[in-house]
Chains A and B, each alone.
Chain A
Amino acid sequence: MKKYIKMTWMETKLFLRDPLCTFFTMAFPLMYLFLFGFISGNEPTPMYGGRNMIEAAIPNLTAMIISMMGLTFITVTMATYREKGILRRLRTTPVSPLVLLVAQLVVVFAMTCLGMLLLVAAGKIFYNIAIQVNLFNVLAGFVLSSFCFFGIGFVLAGILPSARIAQIVGMVLLYPMILLSGAFFSLDLLPEGVQKVANYLPLTYVVKLLNGLWYGEPWRDHWLNVGVLSSILVLSVIVSIKAFQWE
């Protein structure tokens, strides 16, 4: 147990010492929130299908944090650890790779939560948004979405040959996905062809699920989203275990 605690605390410190990580998970989403607030306050906006701007932005920016964590942070960190021999060094000790994986997951999940909490807090303090959510439902959807994307991150880290390539592939997947999944503007505003493409992006299902639960829709309306995300999660756990390499 001691090694799990030490490793998790160490990875937390390393995360917080990396200015890029803290910026993209905390400052960057807040920046967008304030930018949206500057454009139209918390008024109804066509960008999010007539919903109030700030209220609607929170689940969508949370989806963005989740995707950044999975596709860039986990992918690049794990690929770097392997490439630089940090995993190899660890392998010469009696410790199991599971300790590092668990520590990574705990840290990334905690930081994603922190990013979301900052958005909610800023929304409440600066725009006095109405929060009438079923906390349990929203958190359950958040956990499922997060671990689905973390799983994808571990798969990419396992199959891509180097940290540099992992970074490029992560970015190439991330940015179009954020734009086309409905996280920045409602999918209804996009042409039909693009909407079809969106159906193949995992982030689209995160956006739909988080938005739905945020606005109090019941789970039965979201069986497809839950099904897709759960399948990706299970599949990515299996593949990442198979693809894991020490060096």
Chain B
Amino acid sequence: MESIVKVDELVKKYGELTAVNGISFEVREREIFGMVGPNGAGKTTTIEILEGLRKPDGGSVRVLGVDPQDHGRFLREHTGIQLQQSILPDRMRVWEALDLYSSFYPDPVDWEKLLVELGLAEKRNTAFTKLSGGQKQRLFVALALLPNPDLVFLDELTTGLDPQARRVIWNLVRDIRDRGTTVFLTTHFMDEAENLCDRVAILVCGEVVALDTPAALIRDLGAEERVIFDLDGVLPDSFSGAFSSTIQIEEKGKRVVIFGKNDDEVPLVSKVVKVLTEKGIPFHDLRTEQPDLEDVFLKLTGREMKDEG
């Protein structure tokens, strides 16, 4: 099967700065492919090259089997694009935007249906400027779906939205994929990538440092679960002696975090509870945390994801 997007050794420079430094990846049919990384990692540059808005300085790019630079019109008719910073005229109403934009495409979908599917039916006569952030983004998703596209680009779709609006958008994106449309998205939220994407490419400083399903990336990290609890008193020195030297114990005020390679037969959490009970140490709110994509990112880059959204 031909891949929807194929990128080989893509390079993009802005003067002295190399924004994208020889990246390669493929996007498969009917998947949600996510590109994650901190601001300035080259995500938007990459997506804009795929959309044909920017010209690459090196490497090859194929989108739906063609070069975006040579077949711009074909791609604009068959892809849906949501731009990171985009706006409509203040006084344009929701239905007017959909009606106008659908006149641009040779074979548009029925925008009345989209209006209902994206939960904008009640807002059909509302001016763009009066929409909430989530409603604006849903309108842009609707505009991107108008051409009945084979591929949809979503650039930082949920940046600036509240958690509830983000979840609504996530479900929309899953619906798009389930209909058979491939989705290429960028985000700087690790939880979004982990929850939403079928495969994730982690981009740091213009290079792809990892690419796989979120589950495989986390598994490959080889990180173990972490056990966390809050103390009522102080932790006796004898506590750490009960664990092997590969286990690390961190005290942050009243909170204790225990993690590391567990050589015991029993799971780490059982061991911790056993030691706490045996030594009669009062504790509360004991819980475990599974490693997530954020941990993968930390491990790969040695720094925390900077969330400026």
Contacts and interface: CB of A to CB of B under 8 A. Distances in A.
A88 interface: yes
B251 to A, nearest CB: 50
A89 B104 contact: no
A93 B143 CA distance: 10
Interface string A56-97: 000000000000000000000000010011101101111100
Size class of B's contact patch? 20 to 34
Give the interface SS of chain A, mostly helix, strand, loop or mixed.
Answer: helix
B101 A93 contact: yes
Contacts of A7: 100, 103
Interface string A90-129: 0111110000000000000000000000000000000000
Nearest to A13: B96
A85 B155 CA distance: 14
Contacts of B296: none
A94 B104 contact: yes
Interface string B85-119: 11111011000100111011110000000000000
A139 interface: no
A10 B76 contact: no
A92 B73 contact: no
Contacts of A13: 91, 96
Contacts of A6: 99-100, 103
A220 interface: no
A85 B53 contact: no
A88 B88 CA distance: 10
A18 B88 CA distance: 15
Contacts of B106: 94
Interface string A126-163: 00000000000000000000000000000000000000
Contact of B77 (A18, A86, A91, A94): A94
B156 interface: no
B105 A93 contact: yes
Interface in A159-176: none
B89 A86 contact: yes
B91 A14 contact: yes
Contact of B76 (A85, A88, A94): A94
A84 B87 contact: yes
B51 interface: yes
A196 interface: no
Interface residues of A, number: 20
B91 A92 contact: no
B89 A92 contact: no
Contact of B88 (A17, A86, A91, A94): A86
Given A88-B86, A89-B83, A92-B83, A18 B100 contact: no
B85 A85 contact: yes
B141 to A, nearest CB: 13
Interface string A2-23: 1100110010011001100000
B151 interface: no
B81 interface: yes
B104 A95 contact: yes
A92 B76 contact: yes
Contacts of A86: 86-89
A94 B100 contact: no
A195 B86 CA distance: 47
B87 A92 contact: no
B3 to A, nearest CB: 22
Given A13-B96, A94-B77, A3 B88 contact: no
A14 B105 contact: no
A18 to B, nearest CB: 7
Contact of A18 (B76, B83, B91, B143): B91
Interface of A: 2-3, 6-7, 10, 13-14, 17-18, 81, 84-86, 88-89, 91-95
Given A3-B103, A14-B89, A93-B104, 14 more contacts: A6-B99, A10-B100, A13-B96, A14-B91, A81-B89, A85-B83, A85-B87, A89-B86, A91-B53, A93-B76, A93-B101, A93-B105, A93-B147, A94-B106
Question: Which 10 A-B pairs have CB atoms at the shortest separation, nearest pair first?
Answer: A92-B81, A95-B104, A93-B104, A17-B91, A6-B103, A3-B103, A94-B76, A84-B87, A89-B86, A85-B86
12 contacts: A2-B103, A85-B86, A86-B88, A88-B53, A89-B83, A89-B87, A89-B143, A92-B76, A92-B83, A93-B76, A94-B73, A94-B104
